[in-house]
Amino acid sequence: MFKWVNFIMITAVLATACRESQSSDAYSDTRDGDSDADGDSDADGDTDADGDSDTDGDTDTDGDSDSDGDTDTDGDADADSDADSDSDTDADSDSDTDADSDSASGDDTETDTETSLTVESFDVTNPLILERADPWMYRHTDGYYYFIATEPAYNRIYLRRAQTAQGLADAAEKEIWARHPSGIMGAHIWAPELHYIDNAWYIYFAAGATNDVWAIRIYVLENTSDNPLLGTWTEKGQVKTNWESFSLDATTFEHNGIRYLVFAQDDPNQPNYSTNIFIARMSNPWTLDGPQVSISKADFDWERVTYAVNEGPAIIKRNSRIFISYSASATDANYAVGLLWADENGDLMDAASWKKSDVPVMKSGNGVYGPGHSMFSISPLGTIDLLVYHGRDYKDIVGEPLNNPDRHMRVQKLNWSDDGMPVLGPPVANGTITISNQ
């Protein structure tokens, strides 16, 4: 009896720990984009003639990766336990309410009767998805991972889903939106992110215009369907920031009842910087509420290789702190990931609340070059934090990086130091790895 009581108590603690996971709404990665003078914010070229990554440009008949096109039984896709249904990775959110969702996925879970600890273990082969930069892999409460990224033609937004991270590699893609034939949102469709907020799906992405492909701005799509592969995506328009200048890589999260947008933008008052990281409050998922505040700019030498760039922010809330990863420098082998953090009780709109690592927390290594546009996801049972990012398999790029399609999506375990800091790097080498909470 004593062992069973212990088991129940520890399992309850683990269940609480699981809920400390995901805010895919709080996880992102930077378009391997470069906000510099060459306008390279995405080093991808093209895949095939129709811009689709499959051979026939088609996905499936209902855009759903299961047999019935359904998601969950209650129609509730809320990915987190806070009041605004936000799918961010804050400590009170649970990215997977169905604790047995991995039983259909082939993930290995068992209970260690000696320690009463739920063991979670699964394999991932890197690179996981080829020619998909600025990856976003969000695990929802319906038991599916949803994947979205920059496609090499910069023309369309594709979405796919699977019950395991590895399953995303072969999951069918569905085109859910295409660039405008003229005007705004007509060029350079970059770094889409999928978020679930207040019972609706939102995609944040960057786009230029047909008459000025470098007039990059942030735009938002909305879908009220339970399944984002179904329903209708409605354009909510441009997120109006403080200036009409180069802006991209928007991500969003909720904290203490306030929704924030974090993004990269060219500050016209700082001509020596390409893009800074800004934060602003929001009145709704597509509208800022008040001024934006710069919380990071490319001051260190490692952030200024070729271009002075800070971009691709992604949020994870853990250990009484809010962490933001971001990417810096040109999108070649010098591209690297930095880290910001603030106390969860601090004023997030005060730049002084944010601390910054003076060295990159992930850079080229183990045969992976230019790792960046990182974001954070969660394991099926919520016991393991995952790091998602893109990288190249070789160092030297021939020609214009913007036309290079070889940034591939990668996944590895996000570790934590004894003092509660995230340990991102180094990137793992190509091949199959086992991700485990042991």
3-class secondary structure, 326: strand
Beta bridge partners of 313: none
3-class secondary structure, 2: helix
- Per residue in 239-281, pLDDT (tens digit) is 999 999 999 999 999 999 999 999 999 999 999 999 999 999 9
Confidence at residue 271, expressed as pLDDT on a 0 to 100 scale: 93
Question: What is the value of pTM for the model shown?
Answer: 0.78
Sequential DSSP letters for 120-186: EEEEEEES-BTT-EEEEEEE-TTS-EEEEEE-TTSSEEEEEEESSTGGGGGPPPEEEEE--SSSEEE
Q: Which of 345, 281, 338, 332 is nearest to 314 (CA)?
A: 338
Confidence at residue 230, expressed as pLDDT on a 0 to 100 scale: 98
Place 402 in a pLDDT band, splitting at 50, 70 and 90.
Answer: confident
20: left (phi over 0), alpha (psi -120 to 50) or beta: alpha
Confidence at residue 23, expressed as pLDDT on a 0 to 100 scale: 42
- Per residue in 294-305, pLDDT (tens digit) is 999 999 999 999
Place 153 in a pLDDT band, splitting at 50, 70 and 90.
Answer: very high
Q: Which of 276, 209, 220, 210 is nearest to 243 (CA)?
A: 276
Confidence at residue 94, expressed as pLDDT on a 0 to 100 scale: 37
Confidence at residue 269, expressed as pLDDT on a 0 to 100 scale: 95
pLDDT averaged over the chain? 82
**Range in 4-13, 101-110, 157-166 with the lowest mean pLDDT:** 4-13
What are the two backbone dihedrals, phi and then psi, of residue 418, each rounded to the nearest 5 degrees? -65, -25
- Per residue in 417-427, pLDDT (tens digit) is 999 999 998 99
Q: Identify the active-site residue in 34, 44, 90, 134.
A: 134
The set of residues, in sequence order, having a beta carbon less than 8 Å from that of 80 and lying 6+ positions away, is 22, 23, 25, 86, 87, 88, 90, 92, 93, 94, 95
Q: Is 396 a known active-site residue?
A: no
Q: Which residue has the tokens 């603690």?
A: 13
Give the Cβ contact number of residue 175 at 10 Å. Answer: 18
Q: What is the mean pLDDT of residues 93-121?
A: 48
**pLDDT exceeds 80 at position 132:** yes
Q: Which of 213, 212, 259 is nearest to 239 (CA)?
A: 259
CB 220 within 8 A of CB 236: yes
* Cα distances (Å, whole numbers) of residue 237 to 84, 229, 233, 240, 423: 22, 20, 12, 9, 37
3-class secondary structure, 204: strand
Choose the most confident range, by mean pLDDT, from 24-38, 47-61, 79-93, 241-255: 241-255
Confidence at residue 386, expressed as pLDDT on a 0 to 100 scale: 98
Place 88 in a pLDDT band, splitting at 50, 70 and 90.
Answer: low
Distance CA 289, CA 261 (A): 10
Q: Identify the active-site residue in 42, 82, 311, 385.
A: 311
Confidence at residue 403, expressed as pLDDT on a 0 to 100 scale: 87
Distance CA 206, CA 224 (A): 21
3-class secondary structure, 286: coil
3-class secondary structure, 227: coil
Confidence at residue 266, expressed as pLDDT on a 0 to 100 scale: 98
Q: Which of 119, 111, 118, 80 is nearest to 96 (CA)?
A: 80
- Per residue in 347-357, pLDDT (tens digit) is 999 999 999 99
**pLDDT exceeds 80 at position 391:** yes
Q: What angle do CA 419, 423, 428 make, to 5 degrees?
A: 155
CB 388 within 8 A of CB 401: no
Place 400 in a pLDDT band, splitting at 50, 70 and 90.
Answer: confident
CB 206 within 8 A of CB 215: no
Terminal-residue alpha carbon distance, the chain: 26
Give the Cβ contact number of residue 418 at 10 Å. Answer: 5
Place 358 in a pLDDT band, splitting at 50, 70 and 90.
Answer: very high
User: Which residue has better confidence, 412 or 91?
Assistant: 412
Chain centre to alpha carbon of residue 140:
13
Domains and CATH numbers, the chain: 2-436 (2.115.10.20)
Q: Is 311 a known active-site residue?
A: yes
CB 154 within 8 A of CB 132: no
**pLDDT exceeds 90 at position 47:** no
Confidence at residue 43, expressed as pLDDT on a 0 to 100 scale: 37
Q: Which residue has the tokens 């800022």?
A: 288
Give the Cβ contact number of residue 359 at 10 Å. Answer: 10
**pLDDT exceeds 90 at position 45:** no
User: Which residue has better confidence, 165 or 20?
Assistant: 165
**How much of the chain, in percent, has pLDDT values that exceed 70?**
73
**pLDDT exceeds 70 at position 408:** yes
Place 116 in a pLDDT band, splitting at 50, 70 and 90.
Answer: low
